[in-house]
Structure 1
């Protein structure tokens, strides 16, 4: 594949990239921002709010943006109205805390995931002589996937997730795939008519998956756990690879005909993750167009 092109630099840590209405949108962690950039590289800070501190984003079918805030004091799932007001989206008091990623499917079902534990504290106190997978280490708390239906009801639809990260839903709304980062795998679920999940299975393993997206050939783009993004088929075969000089946090297929792979990457320092501006948005032509959600 071609060498990636730097679209934006001087970011802190980019996350949750989404292609929406002709632009690539993403959260700029550490700067409390949501940024949108067009295919020519023209960027706009759409929201800067330290109280909300946007963590991940997606859109309802009617075009209103949903925001998972880092700061949970204003509610754990927020909605941005057309006039710019930020409001709570639904009553989620019955769900665990610690929301992370979000995806909205083609029917308006909202899936959020999370784990109720302190990730940075967990990472900083790891015993590096312990060779077990991270989800088998002391102090780890399994995560969950929750569903918020269009009528505002919420419930847990999957549990025991080994640090839930990026999610996608296939174009037919029939399958949800999630990154289980601490187990190094992508897991898939069948999606029922009411949005519930069942039929859990390993989709691919031997990865270091974070934010993910799917293409028209049925492959998933994700990170391998090193400084690269890989295009992986169901079962784990690596079809394509793009190398970077820093850690990719998430990827998204967008641009004209959704044939551009956008990647947000930064130098990861767990002791001071938001202490520098090593973040970049990069782009490279992709072999197949993006489909599904996000």
Structure 2
């Protein structure tokens, strides 16, 4: 197992940053409790793009360049038209808990996970589904019985989708059919027993997945089958990661305090973005 460079601070004093995406020369992310989507260029200056009253999470872009945003608490998919948000889909009939991360593919199909239960209200755990919203179509369930579906990636050829099951402690893969439905579910990497709960993930050009694990306070690089090639400790709980930069060899890591109130997160502003250089560039989506 080789050791990459240490993480260095990039942006600090955020409330709770999540769902990073590299797009148009900048790192985009959602700051949950400031209820805004932001972007930050290489100089570290944060720019607010749009306010999302019911808390933004997953981000992605349609083929025409318009931004899609998951609105967590009211379980809706929104689209940024100019400076205004428009409703795309209501997911409340399908998602049993707050909606979270999202993958938008090259055809504009949005794959959206949800908690499945009231996590912050300490409700009992319940498995849930992955919802796909096709362009101009109605939301539909494409996978069931997922244990807290979280970060999601798509292979460069668009044929394999991998989703992190945080409570299942595994990465699960599916074949993507031409119509966007999923088939051939399989365990891509089993992580149970290693003290790891995968949250946000990203894919590199060798087919390995970088994952953020808040419970073990680290990011790690995992190959199909479960072999771990890198483990990097983080200050704070690592909740998401993204390979970006001009050559996609910068790993951005987002940290925050999980399971504290929004008020406490806003007061403490302990959320941060870190970065380090890696050898293998990013690949696929997002």
TM-score, normalization by structure 2: 0.91
Aligned CA-pair RMSD: 1.7
Instruction: Mark the CA change 1:277 to 1:175 in structure 2 (over 3 Å): closer, same or farther.
Output: same
Residue 215 of structure 2 is aligned to residue 216 of structure 1: no
Residue 53 of structure 1 pairs with residue 55 of structure 2? yes
- Name the CA shift for 1:19/1:175 in 2 (closer, same or farther; >3 Å): same
| 2:176 equivalent to 1:191 | yes
Aligned counterpart, 2:157: 172
For the pair 1:152 / 2:137, whether they are aligned, the reply is yes
Displacement after TM superposition at 1:96 (Å): 3.0
Which residue pairs with 2:65 in the alignment? 63
Number of residue equivalences: 274
Shifted more, 7-16 versus 35-44: the winner is 35-44
Task: Verify the 8 A CA contact 2:96 2:128 in the aligned structure 1.
Answer: no
Q: Does 1:235 align with 2:225?
A: yes
SS in 2 for 1:217: coil
Structure-2 residue corresponding to 1:256: 246
Structure 1 stretches of 5 or more lacking a match?
126-138
Q: Secondary structure at the match of 2:89?
A: coil
Shift of 1:288: 0.8
Residue correspondence of structure 1 range 43-192 to structure 2 within 5 A: 43-49=46-52, 51-72=53-74, 76-81=76-81, 83-90=82-89, 92=91, 94-98=93-97, 99-122=99-122, 139-192=124-177
Q: 1:118 to 1:94 in 2, by over 3 A?
A: closer
Q: Which runs of 5+ in 2 are unaligned?
A: none
Matched-pair contact (CA < 8 Å) for 1:13–1:274: no
C-alpha distance after superposition, 1:121-163 (max 9, x if no partner): 22xx7xxxxxxxxxxxxx2111111111123232111000011
Contact 1:216–1:288 (8 Å) recurs in 2: yes
SS at match of 1:45: strand
Q: For 1:271 and 1:44, how far apart are their aligned partners in 2?
A: 25
**1:273: Cα distance to partner?**
5.4
* 1:283 maps to 2:255: no
**Residues 93 and 181 of structure 1: is their aligned pair in 2 closer, same or farther, counting only changes over 3 Å?**
closer
Shift of the 63–160 alpha-carbon distance from structure 1 to 2, 3 Å rule, reads: same
Please name the residue that 2:6 is paired with. Answer: 3
1:30 alignment partner, SS class: helix
Per-residue CA deviations over 1:165-198 (Å, capped at 9, x if unaligned) read: 1111111110110011001110000100111111
CA distance in 1, matches of 2:197, 2:185: 19
Provide the residue aligned with 1:135 in structure 2. none
TM-score by length of 1: 0.88
Contact 1:91 1:152 in 2 (8 A): no
What is the rounded CA distance, in whole Å, between the counterparts of 1:57 and 1:274 in structure 2?
24
More moved, 100-109 vs 155-164: 100-109
